[in-house]
Structure 1
Amino acid sequence: MRPALAVAAVALLTLGACGTGGSGDSTDEGVTLTVTANAISGGKNAETADWTAKWVIPRFEAAQKAKGRDVRVVFQPSGVDDEQYKTKVALDLKSRAGADVIDLDGIWVGEFAQAGYVKPLAEVAGPEADSWEGWSQIPQAVQGLGAFEGKRYGLPQGTDGRVLFYNRALFRKAGLPDHWQPRSWQEILDAGAALKRAGVPVPIQIDAGTAMGEATTMQGALPLLAGAGAQIYADGKWTGASRALRDVLDFYRQVYSGGLGDPRLQQEARGRDKSFAQFAEGRIAILAEGDYFWRSVIEPEAEVAPMKDRDSVVGYALIPAQRPGAGVRGQDFVSMSGGAVRVLNPNSKNPKLAWELLSFMHSAEATRSQLAGAARITARKDVNDTVLGADPMLKFVSDEVLPLTAYRPPLAVYPQVSVALQEATAAVVAGTSVDEAAAAYQRKVESLVGGPAHVAS
């Protein structure tokens, strides 16, 4: 067991008694498959629990019965803290127990793979896992959510994407176009300067600092790093004080030392929520955020920061690379995404049948049913094409953002590296030089990942 999993497992050993003692049990009456997720009816992620119990199970059992098979599916609910759920699953898998089909956060995949708890789908289920029809409907970039070191470990569920939101009314005030699409970082800075001259209080909001937490990393630092042609982890090494990292920090310097952003927001405990409110109030002109911001934060009937005129006032644009073609994989535009996956238990007694259940849960019909009429981005393009037609912003993310997105490295030490990156942005916003902040970041990362041999600079 890797250290990050082992320490948490010791604290929750009593949960081991909750395991099934095996998976895919066969009896005289037929086969029993089990599914688990951190979801429970009436509680955490209740929609997932209800969908699994009321839609997936009866339909899958009926489909198997039509094939002459007696298959029973049991849902094992949970409703605990994510880290507790993670530890419970790790303990089950270490004990060669647990459910046949397991929900995981995509960022856990690599850690579980390195610990030997999960294996590639084709290794567990056979070649049919590679020939599944759904792969053709999931963009290659989105498949990366459930992949590690080039192998598919899980099927992606829903995902998201990061874009630049902007206020068209403020843009008009500054003489900027209604339909704005910057093609470089300089064009973002130029727009910010024009907005400042027009009297806009906060021209640009790019999350920075530790108070913003992972939002700093996902909404700001990592998309910018991808735009500079790098990823936080690649080819077995973590990015240190590289040219790309220093360029990212210099962009933060230009935004905040140049008066284009409000450094106080980056230091406040509820700074991100305040940035939401200020955007809705017309005080922030450009905000880097995920599609969650559109569909949940400023949605006209939302409770967080509703904008009744959202559809006419709020524009959205792709995040440009530092300059055309300079992004990761030679891209002109970049994004970052997150999301959950479902994996197969490599200890399943009926792995091929478990794969049938897993692939059934990710079929177009099942994916549509899980939405329950809501407009949300799924991993499947065919479903997105049919359910997002009424929401041009979400369709924009599905069509334009997902094919070029990237994901955080699914490794145990990543959260600590993320904090180091947040600290580097905080230092620059507070006035520390780029070189000094980058050097401090390099030292911190080296201490986290085992020395300079594991850091590329």
Structure 2
Amino acid sequence: MRPFHRPVLISTLAAAVLALCSCGSGSPADGGVTLTITANAISGGKNSVSADWFKNWVIPRFEAAQKRAGRDVRVLFQPNGVDDEQYKTKVALDLKSRTGADVIDLDGIWVGEFAQAGYIKPLGEVGGAAVDSWDGWRQIPEAVQGLGVFDGKRYGVPQGTDGRILYYNKSLFAKAGLPEKWQPRSWQEILDAGTALRRLPGVTPIQINAGTAMGEATSMQGALPLLAGTGTEIYADGKWAGASQGVKDVLDLYRRIYAGGLGDPRLQQEAKGRDKSFAEFAAGKIGVLAEGDYFWRSVIDPKAGVAPMADRDKVVGYAKIPARTPGAGIRGQDFVSMSGGAVRVLNPFSRHPRQAWELLAFMHSAEAVKAELAGAVRVTSRSDVNDEVLAGDPLLSFVSREILPITAYRPGLALYPQVSAALQEATADVVSGRSVEEAATAYRTKLERLSGNPANVTN
């Protein structure tokens, strides 16, 4: 997965347009069609594997398939290897001037912002009826399709994604008299496990990221999944969740963990607190930790992890994040999660929108998605591909089967990063001893100021 970055406000983009290449055009000599793809990827540099896949797999195979169908289609790849914010700015300027590539890679967190600005349009409006009849949609869980959805309409096809879960140490659980196979069905059952683990000397029972030092990890690994477990979304029906009951419930859970002696408040305040929590879990000093599948495959991987656990596959258990109580989660769910990821969209100003959709659909076929992995074991958006490539990894298979169908995504709006920061500050307030009511009220006040209108924030 690509790292998450704070989006810049499109409204602040300079009017000056960078050197632009045209949307797909006809070849002057033979009347053929030229399509372009762009992504923040470049061979030998940033996201090199993706760049090589575009050039060496997608383009020659798509062009050959089109030739067999009697069509003269040429595809060009426009590489980039810059900071994500620079890439975002360039793409926005291209679309603002009605130019740019036909198929465009976007971070999913940008979709709503680009849609509101009129830079992208629903896929069906651009690509036609073939979009809704594409057989690939049946392989992408509806919840995962949400990565490219804004205001109920599909704007993009999701690429790879991930999921948030609870990790726990089976050895510590055994010492505390807790079951080896643990699946809490409510927040109270998490707290109960923490109470049992507290009896073990030198062990921090529960680690759920809090505060501003951990940045977006606080929101994605902690606050937002918990909020989803109350049936509340951070943004819904045109309003941000202010000092709602759901927000207060989340803050109260943080209070019960950190004021109740079940978590370590100092970790939430240290600049490297998240990294330290990784090391402590790997050393058997944390009982329960909320994290994404990145933790399994990149942090505690026995061979290549930054905090390797030689006995990971034997000692580490994992479970779904429960709703506050059964059925209390969004969509009436018993369990919840949050995911991130990228999407690919169509340029609404493409001269060849139907062919551009054919290219986009081809890029998200099962064969193409497997080729893009280049042998890596990662969660993709397609269930059929996941069933095949994740078969040897129980955790990633668990994420694909159990987590993706229940997951949710951050709102792809320009204001979200500031709202997220305010939510992080609210959790920091509670961890440092401020009351839930005070923290929630301060949070709502910040949201009203950020949104510019109290009517945009729920009570």
| Band the TM-score falls in, shorter-chain normalisation | over 0.9
Does residue 28 (structure 1) correspond to residue 25 (structure 2)? The answer is no
Partner of 2:198: helix, strand, or coil? Answer: helix
Once residues 374 and 364 of structure 1 are traced to their aligned partners in structure 2, the CA distance between those partners, rounded to angstroms, is 15
Once residues 436 and 83 of structure 1 are traced to their aligned partners in structure 2, the CA distance between those partners, rounded to angstroms, is 35
> 1:452 offset after TM fit, Å?
1.2
Partner of 1:307: helix, strand, or coil? Answer: coil
Partner of 2:219: helix, strand, or coil? Answer: helix
Of the candidates 167, 181, 184, which is equivalent to residue 183 of structure 2? 181
Of the candidates 393, 404, 408, which is equivalent to residue 395 of structure 2? 393
Partner of 1:337: helix, strand, or coil? Answer: coil
> 1:304 offset after TM fit, Å?
0.9
Question: Where does structure 2 lack aligned partners over 5 or more consecutive residues?
Answer: 1-6
* Amino acid paired to 2:381: A
Q: Which residue of 2 aligns with 1:228?
A: 230
Of the candidates 50, 57, 74, which is equivalent to residue 48 of structure 1? 50
* Cα deviation code 1:137-164 (max 9, x no counterpart): 0000000000100100000000000000
Q: Mapping of 1:273-422 within 5 angstroms? A: 273-422=275-424
TM-score, normalisation: structure 1? 0.97
* Conserved? CA contact 1:24–1:100, under 8 Å: no
Once residues 265 and 441 of structure 2 are traced to their aligned partners in structure 1, the CA distance between those partners, rounded to angstroms, is 22
- Inter-CA distance 24–195: structure 2 relative to 1 (3 Å threshold): farther
* Cα deviation code 1:310-342 (max 9, x no counterpart): 101100000000010111111100000000000
Of the candidates 162, 165, 176, which is equivalent to residue 164 of structure 2? 162
* Amino acid paired to 1:86: K
Question: Where does structure 1 lack aligned partners over 5 or more consecutive residues?
Answer: none
* Cα deviation code 1:80-115 (max 9, x no counterpart): 111110000000000000000000000100000000
Q: Which residue of 2 aligns with 1:101?
A: 103
* Amino acid paired to 2:395: M
Once residues 453 and 11 of structure 2 are traced to their aligned partners in structure 1, the CA distance between those partners, rounded to angstroms, is 22
* Amino acid paired to 2:132: D
* Cα deviation code 1:331-379 (max 9, x no counterpart): 1000000000000000100000000000000000001111112211100
> 1:285 offset after TM fit, Å?
1.0
> 1:200 offset after TM fit, Å?
4.6
Q: Mapping of 1:117-196 within 5 angstroms? A: 117-196=119-198
* Amino acid paired to 1:64: Q
Once residues 322 and 330 of structure 1 are traced to their aligned partners in structure 2, the CA distance between those partners, rounded to angstroms, is 11
Q: Which residue of 1 aligns with 2:85?
A: 83
* Amino acid paired to 1:95: S
* Amino acid paired to 2:201: G
Does residue 62 (structure 1) correspond to residue 82 (structure 2)? The answer is no
Q: Mapping of 1:432-443 within 5 angstroms? A: 432-443=434-445
Q: Which residue of 1 aligns with 2:214?
A: 212
> 1:25 offset after TM fit, Å?
4.0
* Amino acid paired to 1:178: E
Partner of 1:456: helix, strand, or coil? Answer: coil
Q: Which residue of 2 aligns with 1:5?
A: 10
Once residues 163 and 404 of structure 1 are traced to their aligned partners in structure 2, the CA distance between those partners, rounded to angstroms, is 12
TM-score, normalisation: structure 2? 0.97
Q: What's the C-alpha RMSD, in Å, of the aligned pairs?
A: 1.2
State, as a whole percentage, how many aligned pairs show the same letter. Answer: 72
* Cα deviation code 1:363-399 (max 9, x no counterpart): 0000111111221110001111111110011010000
Q: Which residue of 2 aligns with 1:199?
A: 201
* Amino acid paired to 1:219: Q
* Amino acid paired to 2:276: K
